Each structure stands twice: as structure tokens, then as C-alpha cells.
Amino acid sequence: MEVIVSDVGIDKIRNVGLISHGGVGKTSLAEALAFTAGVTNRLGKVDEGQTISDFHPDEITRKISIITSLLNFDWKGHKINLLDTPGYSDFLGEVIGALTVVETSVVLISAVSGIEVGTEQVMKSADEAGVSKIFFVNRMNNENTNYNEVLASLQKTYGNQVVAVQFPVNNGEHFNSFVDLIKMKFVTYTKDGSGERSESDIPAEHRGRADELRERLVEAAAESDDGILEKYFEAGELTEKEFQTGLATGIKNGSILPVLCGAATENIGSHELLDFLIQYAPSPEQREKVEGMNPNDEESKTLAVSVSEPLAALVFKTESEHHVGDFSYFRVFSGELKSGDDAYNPNRKSSEKIGQVFVINGKQRVDAGVVKAGEIGGVVKLKNTHTSDTLCSKKNPIQLPQIKFPDPVIRVAIQTKTRGDEEKISTGLTTLHEEDPTFVAGFDPELRQTIIQGQGEMHLDIVVKRLKDKFGVDVELVEPKIPYRETVKKTVEVRGKYKKQSGGRGQYGDVWIKLEPRNRTEGYEFVNAVV
């Protein structure tokens, strides 16, 4: 597998996150895109554990993505950084972290199931991250597919900004052809996974639908920009340049949600998706500015998206490796990060000496020397930098917004199966939290139990397995104890007398104590009275 270390202008970079409901084919699509771009020489299969983005043992065993993987490749003079994210809600934190560092999301939709719960969840995350969205209707080669129903469902759910860019002409096991509404061509793929394709004129029986959908696409492009819309009203048509500009503008500002289609496992549609990304997806340069705050006075601060600006980078993911230590994934928003640099972490108010910086393709890493604005890379052995921290220039500091990870939704207690593992379990839980901020652990002194919290049962099952595999700690899950409280339930009166006669006046006391419950919101009340 090739790892690309390219030096292209920031306008030629595309940072893209693949997101969807679980099991829709993100990893297969990532594999197809990498194969089409020439990164690999074969089309790996998820079921066979051969894909370049699902390489962790748990992912291979379960045949699902658990962590976000970074791929990168060149396509027609452009650099594409592709983040393949998990689809199951147990790992939503991975999705949120990835969306923080990309400009574009490709939202995969099942051609069979359409919009699912996970679709709505990742769409909400993409909206909150402010990234562009491109729909890719996958698994067109499955039985019981219906592209028209899926398209109608997307338009009903997300509005008129949903517009078709392609439409298939055959579904199910025979799927291999679709109409490209941008080129107005009929595209046919071979079924052998090679990605070989041909273009021809649109057959007469599909021309009417093609013209109808093309007109709607042109209208959407015109509506994205007032100047282009005025020209469209005057002339009744757009030049190719105006159409391209309008489509790119609409995708960037969210007024257009384009819909493409394909079959990732057979590498159908990947060529057109890559072309679409470099032509119409926004570049890092189109962010226009980097927003944060000055950590010295907490006033808002902005930088231009440029290599010539001071450094502003965000660590969005951390992995702990046995022989290496912490490996930090980062996105450079402005400036550049070089091996040997002294960077400043405003979150921890500490400096970091930057070691080797890498570009990454799955599990493969290559020393890059420098990672520039718009790029995504990795660095080893940062002393005091964690996920969601900023790296910047100490002379011109900026602190970027921290990633907002979801709160835990499930909690259980754990106990070791072997005496003496308490220290190891503490180290393991701390490390796992560093890798995954959506996992939270701590010792409850009142219950005298170690409590772990996460996003779901699968999430915690994997945590327990990693404790055993990485730290040699075997634990079992148990129910957390209930922290019972005592309170007054009914009125009680008690009396105590004290008498002591030792000559003289003597001592005598008669004390009544009355306890009675109050309403929960009223708090305690103490009355000292003489009666």
C-alpha cells in the first residue's frame, strides 16, 4: 500500500469524512476509492478482514468499524484526506471528532433501507460541525433496492435542497449503469470490481427523466447565488462555468445536498465520486478563517487559512501504542507543524517539542517532516497534549474550540478477577479514556466500586476486551450498588430526664426531642424551644 506525501496547494486539498448508519458500506467505499486512486492493487473485503481502514483486531473480528481511520491519496492533482468513521452509535464520539477536522461529509444511504436512525444522528452531527454534505446511495447492487423511493424520502426529510446528480437505470444484482446529470452521459461499469467504465450518449428511453432532473439541478445551482440566479432569469440558461460555480457554492453553504449512487463492493461509482469531490467539494481555503480565542485574555481571535499565518492545529484523536506511546492525530488549520518545532498548548499552558510528524494511510505511516495548513497528520510522544487540545505559536497564541463529545448513556461497575490488579486497572482505564473521551471511568468511594460509563453495551464490551488485551487485566461487569440514604419517614417524639442530687440545689433536666419529615424541597429546619 502506498502512502502519499504530496505537496499541493491548499486549494487542491479535500478533507472528507464518510458517515452513515451502521453497516451501510463506508469501509467498502473507502476501499473502492483508495483502489481507484491507485493506493492499493486489490479491492479488499470487509468480510475477509482485508480492508486498509479496518485493521484493528476488534474490527476484523466483529467486521465493523470501531475507530476512525485516515486514508490519503492523490486524484488528478488533488490531495484527498479521507476519514472512515464507525457507523454504530456506540462510537459516535469518533464521528464527532472526525467531523471537526473536515470540510465535507459523504453521507452513505442504503438503497434498501433508506434513511435510518443512525442517518439522522450523523446528519445532526454534520450540521453541528458546519460541514458540507453529499449523499451517496450505496448498495445499488442489492436486492429490493429502489433509488426513486430513497430520493423521494431524502427530499421529504431534508427539503428541496436535495437534488439528484445521478440516477441508476438498472437495480439489484444487474446494477452497473447510471446517468451522470453533470456530464449528461450514460456511464457503464464492468461488474468485476476493476472500476473500468465507459461513457456514451444517454439512451432515448432515459432522456426524458435525464432532462427533467438536469433542469432541477441547474435551478438549484442558480438559486445558490443571487448573481447567477439573476443571469438565469435573464438568459434562461447557465454557462458551464456558471453552473459549476453555482453547484460548488450551494454545496458549500448547504443550499444543495447532491445525491450520487453506486455499489462500493463492486467499485461502481467511485470514479465519479472522486471527480465530484475535487470539482465541487470545498477546500480548506474556503473556510476563509480560523476562529478561536486568545488564551491570554479570552477574547475572540481569528486567523486566515494560510500557511503563512501562525500555527493553529487541533488534536482530534489519540491512540496509545505499546512500543511507541501516545500517537496524536491532528489537523493544521493555519501555519505549519514541523518536526523539531516548539509548539505551545494553551489548554495545558505547556510547551511541546514536536518529534516526527507523519502522514497516514490506515496503519501505514510515513515521516512527512512538515504538515501544512489544510492537512491532517500525526505526531508521536507529546508529553502533555490530549484529544481536543490546541497546538499553536507561543508568540501568537490561539485556542481553538474544544470538541463537544456526547455524555455517557450507560454505566456499570467492574471488578477484577485477580487480586493485585488494581494498579493495572487504573492505568488501563486512564489510557482508554485518553483514546476515547466518550468513555469515562472512576472509583466511587461511597459505593467502593469502580464505575465505567460509555455509549452502549458494545462500547463497554470492547473496553473490557481492550483492558485484557492491552493491559492484561481480566474484569467482569457487575451491577452498581445502590447508594441508599436514610431519612425521617414519620413523626417521632422521645423524652430524656436527667437528675443528680449531690447536696445543695442538685441538677435536673427534662428534654423532649421531636423529629418529623419535611417536604424534599424545604431542606432542614432546627427549632430550639423552651416549653
- All three cell numbers of 387, joined, read 484529544
Q: Please indicate, yes or no, if residue 193 is contained in any of the structural domains.
A: yes
Same domain, 456 and 368: no
Q: What is the pLDDT of residue 1?
A: 55
Grouping H, G, I as helix, E, B as strand and the rest as coil, residue 265 is: helix
Q: Between the CA of residue 312 and those of 81, 132, 142, 289, 392, what are the distances in Å? A: 18, 22, 45, 11, 5
Q: What is the pLDDT of residues 64-102, one digit of tens each?
A: 999 999 999 999 999 999 999 999 999 999 999 999 999
> Domain check: are 334 and 372 in the same one?
yes
Reported in sequence order, the residue ranges of 111-228 that DSSP labels E, i.e. its strands, are: 132-138, 162-164, 166-168, 177-180, 185-189, 197-200
Domain CATH code at residue 474: 3.30.70.870
Q: What dihedral do alpha carbons 34, 39, 44, 50 form, nearest 10°?
A: -120
- What is the three-class DSSP state of 404? coil
DSSP structural state of residue 399: B
H helix count then E strand count, the chain = 11, 29
pTM summary value: 0.89
pLDDT score of 485: 79
Q: How many domains does the chain have?
A: 3
Same domain? For 264 and 311 the reply is no
- Write the CATH number for 304: 2.40.30.10
Look at residue 408 and give its three-state secondary structure: coil
**24 and 144 belong to one structural domain:** yes
Residue 105 is part of a domain; what is its CATH number? 3.40.50.300
- End residue of a domain, out of 248, 268, 285: 285
What are 292's strand-pairing partners? 301
**Residue 520 has which C-alpha cell?**
424534599
- Give the number of C-alpha atoms closer than 13 A to the C-alpha of residue 384, restricted to the C-beta side: 10
384 to 14, 256, 335, 353: CA distances (angstroms): 30, 42, 21, 10
Among 327, 362, 392, the domain-final residue is 392
Show the domain range for 448.
410-478
Amino acid letter, residue 197: R
The segments of the chain whose pLDDT lies below 50 read none
Of the chain, the end-to-end C-alpha distance in Å amounts to 91
64 and 196 housed in the same domain:
yes
Measure the CA–CA gap between 98 and 77, rounded to whole angstroms: 24
> Are 183 and 61 in a shared domain?
yes
Residue 261 domain-assigned (yes or no): yes
374 and 318, same domain (yes or no): yes
> Grid coordinates in use for 189?
461499469
* Distance separating alpha carbons of residues 215 and 374, to the nearest angstrom: 35
On whether residue 249 sits in a domain, the answer given is no
Q: 252 with 18: CB under 8 angstroms?
A: no
Residue with cell 417524639: 493
Q: Is residue 235 part of a domain?
A: no
> Residue 423: what pLDDT?
79
Question: How far is it, in rounded angstroms, from Cα 2 to Cα 27?
Answer: 18
- CB-hemisphere CA count at 13 Å for 73? 22
Q: Is residue 174 part of a domain?
A: yes
Task: Tell whether 32 is covered by a domain.
Answer: yes
Residue 494's identity, in one-letter code, is: V
Are 170 and 141 in contact by the 8 Å Cβ rule? The answer is no
- What is the layout of strands, in order, in the sheet containing 177-180? 166-168, 177-180, 185-189, 197-200
Q: Is residue 246 part of a domain?
A: no
Based on the fold, state whether residues 138 and 278 are members of the same structural domain: yes
Evaluate whether residue 516 is within a structural domain.
no
SS (H, E, C) 419-482: CCCHHHHHHHHHHHHHHCCCCEEEEECCCCEEEEEECCHHHHHHHHHHHHHHHCCCEEEECCCC
Query: Do residues 366 and 439 share a domain?
Result: no
Asked if 66 and 207 sit in the same domain, the reply is: yes
How far is residue 372's CA from residue 109's CA, in Å, rounded to a whole number?
33
Nearest to 87 by CA among 71, 105, 103: 105
- 294, 281: one domain: no
Does residue 34 share a domain with residue 23?
yes
